[in-house]
Amino acid sequence: MVITDHHECQEQLPDACAVVNPHRPDCTYPFPELAGVGVVFKLLCAYESMLYKEAGKPVEDAVASVFDTYGDLVAIGTIADVMPMVDENRLIVSKGLERIANTERCGLAALMDAVSAGQNGARERRTVNASFVGYALAPRINAAGRIDHAYRAVELLLCANPERAAGLAQELCTVNKQRQAEENTIAEAAYKMIEKEDPKDRYVIVLDNDNWHQGVIGIVASRITERYGLPSIMITFDGATRGYTSPDDVGKGSGRSVKGINLVEALQDSSDLLVRYGGHELAAGLSIRREQIPEFRARINAYAKEKLGGKMPAQRYEVDCEAEVEQLTMQLAEELTTLEPFGVANEAPTFLLRDMTVGRIVPLAGGKHMKVFLTKNGVTLTAIWFGMSPSKADFLAGDQVDIVFSLNINEFRGERTLQLVLSDASVATDEEDERLDEDEALYRRVCDGGTFSARDGVIPARDDFALVYTALRKEGRAGHSVISERVLINHLIAAGAARPVSRVRVRFVLRILNEMQLCGIQEVGNGIYLFEIPEQNGKKINLEDSAILQALRRQCVDTEA
């Protein structure tokens, strides 16, 4: 038996005819960062080269022959395994993408058609690059093994019948949707568990559950690490119990890490508590008995604390260049494509733009993502922020923001347009502070009985109450009992409030809802509110009976238009 692998090696290697792994201490291969599929590819190249040499053929032709046959699959595997996009990986992916774009592999063509299908099933032209493979093709191929069975993906890639391939491609798309739903369910449950924990001395997030799907926990761990900026390990006992829980149940875990914490070394420090473990610096897997989890959680946190010197890892964005809005053109975006393929260790160039004015904010995919229109010096740019809901964004329409982004060319129905892909945004501090001071001064003046103009937009209308109440109920259904003014205002903007949203008006809406016992509202400071939605008893409440609302009407010196 010949074993191939690309993970960090344990002290004792398996008993086999050969163990091919560029991470072996005795391996002299010059590039150890091959993907698992890359190691298999190199083994095939070596074997084919031996046959060519014996037959008196040029050895270089052997490598070309193997790549002609498998280059597209090696490229997909290298991208899907999130390997460093440098050296040999860069060459493999670059040449492999050319083969994918012009594939004669029936199943791969069918999958690209299924992914790229537009209205009425018409195929939209898509640029085949590392991003397309990593975010569109690879998740669907991987979903088969995560949720169902990997044979579906294997059958698709080997399929020679176009009709059968089209059916299999649609099945993978369906399975991927199931994977996404399962992933979101587990992620929301995990977030609630994290928010209930004491963050003090929490350097590694370790969560466990009896029913989480084993094939999905690694993806959720990635989302947790990205969200909280901490290493995370998800452990599931799904399928490990015998109808009842036992301290001896063996759970399987998947972890992700951040720079500064080598996850394999961290697991090695607790190896006496683990059944097995292995992986890379930033991603690893493990098996552990249920009774060992509390000690493991404490020990790996202590290890991380020591490694980080007692300081929490900071989430930082490294910017390649601060740009001016006039410099962002289609020509620049086209020139940047010559740096592809992008990936780990060869990320797409990241830029910083300052003092952009936020225009319209548009929710996408049911609020999972958002589109933002940004303006400066008369130039308006379109930006998309994947994974960011308008209700969670830290800015509002009209705010001045500094943004971190990469440039992208969006292709839709034959048209190519410049698009910014946001990775971070922050409100320009001076203007935000000035606006908050003005709002605070107006709110205090009105609370003290002072007069105001209808132009100040202080008096709530019925729609304001409905939108705020709906937003609170939505947050409550998500398991939340705390909300900030900013998140609440973003909810109102995303819901399409009929008039500009005012912080002052929102505060009075909350006070009136609390006064009329429609909601329990308690401000705890700095624009943060505890809230509770009571059970509806069928009793009708007339908001016009509110003493606060009546007082506001008396204090207004003119009539609202």
Nearest to 139 by CA among 217, 90, 221, 76: 76
CATH number, domain containing residue 415: 2.40.50.460
**Statement to judge: residues 466 and 389 lie in one domain:** no
Looking at residue 374, its pLDDT comes to: 94
Looking at per-residue pLDDT, the higher value among 485 and 216 belongs to: 216
CA distance 337 to 334: 5
Q: Using 50, 70 and 90 to split pLDDT, how confident is the model at 124?
A: low
Alpha-carbon dihedral sign for residues 309, 311, 312, 315:
negative
Residue where one domain finishes, among candidates 427, 458, 491: 427
**Statement to judge: residues 142 and 218 lie in one domain:** no
**Statement to judge: residues 302 and 437 lie in one domain:** no
The half-sphere exposure of 70 on its side-chain side, counting CA atoms within 13 A, is 16
Looking at per-residue pLDDT, the higher value among 391 and 428 belongs to: 391
Residues sharing a CB contact under 8 Å with residue 119, sequence separation 6 or more, in sequence order? none
pLDDT at 245 over 90: no
Eight-state DSSP code of residue 148: S
CA distance 73 to 40: 11
Q: Are 373 and 465 in contact (CB under 8 A)?
A: no
Rounded average pLDDT over 501-508: 89
Looking at residue 66, its pLDDT comes to: 97
Looking at residue 503, its pLDDT comes to: 86
Looking at residue 120, its pLDDT comes to: 44
CA distances from 549 to 221, 275, 523, 558 (A): 47, 64, 19, 15
Rounded average pLDDT over 262-281: 94
pLDDT at 429 over 90: no
Q: Could you tell me if residue 183 is inside a domain? A: no
Looking at per-residue pLDDT, the higher value among 558 and 211 belongs to: 211
pLDDT at 242 over 80: no
CA distance 261 to 241: 32
Note the Cα 465 to chain centre separation in Å. 33
Looking at residue 438, its pLDDT comes to: 85
CA distance 403 to 176: 32
Rounded average pLDDT over 137-146: 94
**Statement to judge: residues 226 and 366 lie in one domain:** no
CATH number, domain containing residue 35: 3.90.1640.30
Q: Using 50, 70 and 90 to split pLDDT, how confident is the model at 125?
A: low
- Domain assignment of residue 20, given as a range: 2-175
**Statement to judge: residues 54 and 20 lie in one domain:** yes
Q: Using 50, 70 and 90 to split pLDDT, how confident is the model at 431?
A: low
Q: Using 50, 70 and 90 to split pLDDT, how confident is the model at 208?
A: very high
**Statement to judge: residues 446 and 542 lie in one domain:** yes
Q: Are 474 and 495 in contact (CB under 8 A)?
A: no
Number of domains in the chain: 4
CA distance 405 to 422: 4
pLDDT at 119 over 60: no
Q: Could you tell me if residue 190 is inside a domain? A: no
SS3 call for 291? helix
**Statement to judge: residues 39 and 159 lie in one domain:** yes
CATH number, domain containing residue 484: 1.10.10.10
Nearest to 112 by CA among 175, 165, 158: 165
**Statement to judge: residues 168 and 204 lie in one domain:** no
Rounded average pLDDT over 372-379: 92
End-to-end CA distance of the chain: 82
Q: How confident is the model over 390-417, as pLDDT tens digits?
A: 878 888 777 889 999 999 998 877 788 9
**Statement to judge: residues 411 and 439 lie in one domain:** no
Eight-state DSSP code of residue 137: I
Residue 130 CB neighbours (<10 A): 23
Note the Cα 345 to chain centre separation in Å. 19
CA distance 518 to 84: 54
Q: How confident is the model over 166-207, as pLDDT tens digits?
A: 999 999 999 999 999 999 999 999 999 998 888 888 999 999
Residue where one domain finishes, among candidates 144, 175, 206: 175
Beta bridge partners of 410: 417
Lowest average pLDDT, out of 25-39, 375-389, 426-440, 453-467, goes to 426-440
**Statement to judge: residues 453 and 533 lie in one domain:** yes
Q: Where are the alpha helices (DSSP H) in 149-244?
A: 151-158, 162-196, 217-228
Looking at residue 183, its pLDDT comes to: 94
Q: Are 291 and 247 in contact (CB under 8 A)?
A: yes
Q: How confident is the model over 471-490, as pLDDT tens digits?
A: 898 888 877 788 888 778 87
SS3 call for 220? helix
CA distance 115 to 137: 7
Q: Could you tell me if residue 160 is inside a domain? A: yes
Q: Could you tell me if residue 214 is inside a domain? A: yes
Looking at residue 483, its pLDDT comes to: 85
Looking at residue 62, its pLDDT comes to: 96
Q: Are 253 and 276 in contact (CB under 8 A)?
A: no
Alpha-carbon dihedral sign for residues 190, 193, 199, 203:
negative
Residue where one domain finishes, among candidates 398, 427, 456: 427
Q: Could you tell me if residue 315 is inside a domain? A: no
pLDDT at 507 over 60: yes
Q: Could you tell me if residue 184 is inside a domain? A: no
Q: Could you tell me if residue 355 is inside a domain? A: yes
pLDDT at 123 over 60: no
Rounded average pLDDT over 489-517: 84
Looking at per-residue pLDDT, the higher value among 56 and 148 belongs to: 56
Q: Using 50, 70 and 90 to split pLDDT, how confident is the model at 560?
A: low
CA distances from 78 to 143, 155, 198 (A): 17, 20, 39
Eight-state DSSP code of residue 415: E
Nearest to 403 by CA among 369, 375, 441, 362: 375
Nearest to 337 by CA among 279, 409, 389: 409
Q: Where are the alpha helices (DSSP H) in 309-407?
A: 330-336
Looking at residue 243, its pLDDT comes to: 64
**Statement to judge: residues 141 and 35 lie in one domain:** yes
Q: Could you tell me if residue 444 is inside a domain? A: yes
CA distances from 174 to 44, 109, 144, 153, 479 (A): 34, 17, 10, 13, 28
Q: How confident is the model over 297-323, as pLDDT tens digits?
A: 999 999 999 998 888 776 677 899 999
Residues sharing a CB contact under 8 Å with residue 425, sequence separation 6 or more, in sequence order? 385, 393, 394, 395, 401, 402, 403, 404
Q: How confident is the model over 38-75, as pLDDT tens digits?
A: 999 999 999 999 999 999 999 999 999 999 999 999 99
**Statement to judge: residues 206 and 71 lie in one domain:** no
